[in-house]
Structure 1
C-alpha cells in the first residue's frame, strides 16, 4: 500500500495536474459545474510534493487536514497486520464515521456557495 501511495504521489509530483490533458475531469464537476469534496486533491498533492504547504491547503482544505488522520490509520493498520491482529482504532467508531460524513457533505455544499468561494480549488 505504501508503494502504491508513494508511486501515485510521485506521478502526481512529476505530471502537473494544473496543466489540462493529463488527468480526467471530475465526473461530478463535468456534469454539474460544481465542485465535489475531492476536487483539487491532485493539485493539493502536487503542491505538497513540491513543498508548497499553503497552496496545498488552498487546493483542498478538507483533504489536507485529513492526511494526518490517514497516516495515523495507515500506521495503526500496519502495526496490527504485523502482529496478526485486527485493526482496532477508536477513531473508527460509528459516531466518528457519521460525523466525518456530515463534515464531508457540509464541506461539499459550502465550497459551492458564493460565501464559501475560499474553499473552492
Structure 2
C-alpha cells in the first residue's frame, strides 16, 4: 500500500502556470479529483468546480437515460447534451478568469497546496 500512497501524492506541474505565473483553464483539476475522492466537496469545488459538475451531470445523464428507456417515447438526448457541454465550458471559462483575477489583481492564491 505504500506505492499507492506515493502515487496519490504525485502531482504534475502545470507548464502554463510555470511559464506565465497564471493559471491555465484546467489548473486545480487534479487536486479537485483528489479532494472529491476524499469526500471534501467544498475543497473540490474550490480547486475546480468542473469536477463536481461533471460527476453530477454524469449521474443525472445516466438516470435520465434509464428513465428514457422505460418510456414509450424516449427523450431527445442531443439538445440536453449540448447544453451540458456549454454549461461545462462556461464553468471552465468563468473559473479561469476568476482565479487569475484573484491572483493578479487581488494577490490571493485560490489553489492552496494539498495537505
Range class of TM-score, shorter chain: 0.5 to 0.7
Indicate the SS of the match to 1:113: helix
Matched with 1:88 is: 77
The aligned counterpart of 1:58 is 46
Query: 2:7 matched to which residue of 1?
Result: 15
* TM-score w.r.t. length of structure 1: 0.55
More displaced 10-residue stretch of structure 1: 33-42 or 110-119: 110-119
Name the structure 2 match of 1:24.
12
Q: Give the superposition deviation at 1:14.
A: 7.2
Q: Distance in 1 between matches of 2:64 and 2:6?
A: 29
Asked whether the 8 Å contact 1:13–1:46 carries over to 2, the reply is no
Give the alignment's Cα RMSD to 1 decimal. Answer: 3.7
Gaps of 5+ in 1: 1-11, 80-86
Q: Write the mapping of 1:1-121 to structure 2, written as runs, cut at 5 A.
A: 15-16=7-8, 19=9, 22-73=10-61, 88-93=77-82, 97-98=85-86, 100-114=88-102, 115=106, 117=108, 119-120=110-111
Q: Report how far residue 117 of structure 1 moved.
A: 4.2
Q: CA 1:104 to 1:116, structure 2 compared with 1: closer, same or farther past 3 Å?
A: farther
TM-score by length of structure 2 reads 0.57
Gaps of 5+ in 2: 67-75
Aligned residue for 1:84?
A: none
In 2: Cα distance, 1:61 partner to 1:116 partner = 21
Q: How many residues align?
A: 101
